Structure 1
Amino acid sequence: MALSLVDKLVVAISSRALFDFEEENRVYEEGNLQAYEALQRDRLAVPAKPGVAFPLIRKLLALNAGGHRVEVVILSRSDPISGLRAFHSCREHGLAIERGVFTRGRAPFGYLKPLNASLFLSANQQDVRDALAAGFPAARVLPESAKMASKYPDEIRIAFDGDAVLFSDEAERVFQKDGLRAFVGHEIHNKDLPLADGPLKPLLEALHRLQKLADEAAPMHIRTALVTARSAPAHERAIRTLMAWNIEIDEAMFLGGLDKSAFLREFEPDFFFDDQIGHCESARVVTATGHVMSGIVNAS
């Protein structure tokens, strides 16, 4: 019987999001593929340094101490020989990653479907856009993000924006078109109507399932937070949407336009997802950050 990833939290991640390949990427971006591949070949035995998403991936893999629940797959535009260095780096850093797909310059997002991916993390903007357009949860990691020195080695902490991330951008469209007063009125009028799914809802669902499986003795636990610019009374629709989904979230911050970075500094997430690049730029000095390039604010 063939193996299946259907019941797993599957994270597909590019080698550049997992490891610090910024120097090598600069050669790749210059358009000299042969020089890039030669550089990777020269460094096959040199483990790459951890990248932006490395701490999150290490913690997610620790969930497998209670059974095989998480699968991490390297999904990369690199060539297969460069993939040797990625796998070598995994072994050197103790990451139990066994699967990888390397496409040598071609867009890799099509492989997300057979992988049944709950999340795709990449530093390549177009790959993330293509993945989101095809209906897959995805975010562009900001390679220059801080790697939070967490006080919580036994917790995976993930923070999400709401509109256009967990939820659809329906309400954001009202705000962009008609302003704050119209947005608040729209949300009050529709407070009992759940918002449609946003691009990262499948990830939150998968995390919630893993939360329910963990017991108190588990070596790793999950804690989630909603960090949104919404404020009362528009907060009610967000909470009621989560209730309709039968998903519990651990913390909710309704900030009414306050800078999110100060609150993220207190929560100390291993990763934060937001659809607005301005919020991402503010957050990246605090923690690892992913730009979810969806919704009306990213339409251009």
Structure 2
Amino acid sequence: MSTLPAECLVVAISSRALFDFEEENRVFEQGDDRAYMALQLQRLQQPAQPGVAHSLVRKLLAFNADGVTRVEVVILSRNDPVSGLRVFRSAGHDALPIQRGVFTRGAPPWRYLRPLGAHLFLSANIEDVRAALAAGFPAAQVYPHAPRASDAHPREVRIAFDGDAVLFSDEAERVYQTQGLHAFQDHEQRHASVPLPGGPFKPLLQALHRLQQAGSATMRIRTALVTARSAPAHERAIRTLMDWNIEVDEAMFLGGLDKGPFLREFEPDFFFDDQTRHVASAAEHVPAGHVAGGVTNPPPAAPREGTA
């Protein structure tokens, strides 16, 4: 029986996050999955164009270049098994060594995250992302029309994170939302030495830290904390990371400034934030995903279909 190394970083990704299937998805959303399947089969020999998370996946898989499996990428999709043929063909065309996939033909696929031991789930389907977050898995809704990542850093996986409700819990964000900025700043200054509870993406940051510590002759990871916090609330965020024994390479305490231009300069392969306005700003410049949980996000809406 094949098993993955315990320290292996496992990324589950939907077909629309990895490849540009937006044209095909419009056919699916018209309610005719047979027409969608026929279109995918018709295009079986036509490799799909890269999607918004393609660069992230390609670079992470490069950590395995020496033959040691440090990263595993699994397709986890609402696609049907026949359409999955094109997904694997497209991955092969792009020299992405992806061997595992789960295709559910419209059924929620997130329930397979647990047997996969996934550290990250990327999907275009907001309901699947919410369900994954509720089950305790780092997950984000990709913005398929965001620009592709820059090619300027071929030997670095660059990932940027928001702080509250992403790396950290939404404890402090709840104070801000209910009592305002001054109460938030006062609360964080009084609790500066008290580490924040971990948020949904703490396990991913820890897994990336282990991957970096494992080492690679050709690849490295560069991380950034990009937060609306400013002094004096910055101290609790830094002290929390120190308590976790995790370092980030860059920290941006923007005090409410638009995050997009700063992310444009950092050039991440992906950015994660819990607030749609920040994700929308980022998605003008870089690949971005919405962490659809925490106090700033409304309860789940009625399910809507999509191939994810």
Counterpart of 1:290 in structure 2 is 289
Alignment check: 8 A CA contact 1:6 1:116 kept: no
Query: What letter is aligned with 2:15?
Result: S
Q: What displacement does 1:65 show?
A: 1.7
Counterpart of 1:278 in structure 2 is 277
> What secondary structure, in the 3-state scheme, does the structure 2 residue paired with 1:298 have?
coil
> What secondary structure, in the 3-state scheme, does the structure 2 residue paired with 1:281 have?
helix
Distance 2:19 2:58 in 1: 12
Alignment check: 8 A CA contact 2:7 2:210 kept: no
Query: What letter is aligned with 1:61?
Result: L
> What secondary structure, in the 3-state scheme, does the structure 1 residue paired with 2:65 have?
helix
Unmatched tracts of structure 2, length 5 or more? 300-308
Identical positions, percent: 66
For residues 36-75 of structure 1, what are the structure 2 equivalents within 5 Å?
Answer: 36-66=36-66, 67-75=68-76
Counterpart of 1:11 in structure 2 is 11
Higher relative contact order (CA 8 A, sep 6+): 2
Distance 2:206 2:7 in 1: 12
For residues 246-261 of structure 1, what are the structure 2 equivalents within 5 Å?
Answer: 246-261=245-260
Counterpart of 2:182 in structure 1 is 181
> What secondary structure, in the 3-state scheme, does the structure 2 residue paired with 1:196 have?
coil
> What secondary structure, in the 3-state scheme, does the structure 2 residue paired with 1:87 have?
helix
Instruction: Spell out, residue by residue over 1:158-206, the C-alpha distance to the aligned partner (whole angstroms, 9 max, x if none).
Output: 0000000000000000000000000011111111111111111111101
Query: What letter is aligned with 1:132?
Result: L
Alignment check: 8 A CA contact 2:126 2:141 kept: yes
> What secondary structure, in the 3-state scheme, does the structure 2 residue paired with 1:10 have?
strand
2:156 counterpart of 1:141 = no
> What secondary structure, in the 3-state scheme, does the structure 2 residue paired with 1:56 have?
helix
Distance 1:203 1:150 in 2: 23
Alignment check: 8 A CA contact 2:5 2:69 kept: no
2:166 counterpart of 1:165 = yes
Number of residue equivalences: 298
Distance 1:5 1:219 in 2: 21
Query: What letter is aligned with 1:269?
Result: P
> What secondary structure, in the 3-state scheme, does the structure 2 residue paired with 1:297 have?
coil
Distance 1:5 1:179 in 2: 46
Query: What letter is aligned with 2:37?
Result: E
2:40 counterpart of 1:34 = no
Instruction: Spell out, residue by residue over 1:215-253, the C-alpha distance to the aligned partner (whole angstroms, 9 max, x if none).
Output: 5xx111110000000000000100111011111111101
Q: What displacement does 1:6 show?
A: 2.9
Distance 2:150 2:163 in 1: 25
Query: What letter is aligned with 2:220?
Result: H
Moved more, 184-193 or 166-175: 184-193
Q: What displacement does 1:38 show?
A: 1.1
Q: What displacement does 1:148 show?
A: 2.5
Query: What letter is aligned with 2:278?
Result: H
> What secondary structure, in the 3-state scheme, does the structure 2 residue paired with 1:194 have?
coil
Counterpart of 1:268 in structure 2 is 267
Q: What displacement does 1:5 show?
A: 4.8
Please report the RMSD computed on the Cα atoms of aligned residues, expressed in angstroms. Answer: 1.0
Alignment check: 8 A CA contact 1:174 1:182 kept: yes
Query: What letter is aligned with 1:131?
Result: A
Q: What displacement does 1:7 show?
A: 1.9
Counterpart of 1:127 in structure 2 is 128
Distance 1:60 1:31 in 2: 35
Query: What letter is aligned with 1:125?
Result: I
Q: What displacement does 1:265 show?
A: 1.3
Q: What displacement does 1:266 show?
A: 1.3
Q: What displacement does 1:262 show?
A: 1.3
Counterpart of 1:204 in structure 2 is 205
Distance 1:98 1:244 in 2: 37
TM-score, L = length of structure 2: 0.95
Query: What letter is aligned with 2:268?
Result: P
2:222 counterpart of 1:235 = no
Distance 1:37 1:115 in 2: 26
Unmatched tracts of structure 1, length 5 or more? none
TM-score, L = length of structure 1: 0.97
Alignment check: 8 A CA contact 1:140 1:292 kept: yes
Distance 1:4 1:287 in 2: 31
> What secondary structure, in the 3-state scheme, does the structure 2 residue paired with 1:174 have?
helix
> What secondary structure, in the 3-state scheme, does the structure 2 residue paired with 1:156 have?
strand
Query: What letter is aligned with 2:256?
Result: G
Counterpart of 2:93 in structure 1 is 92
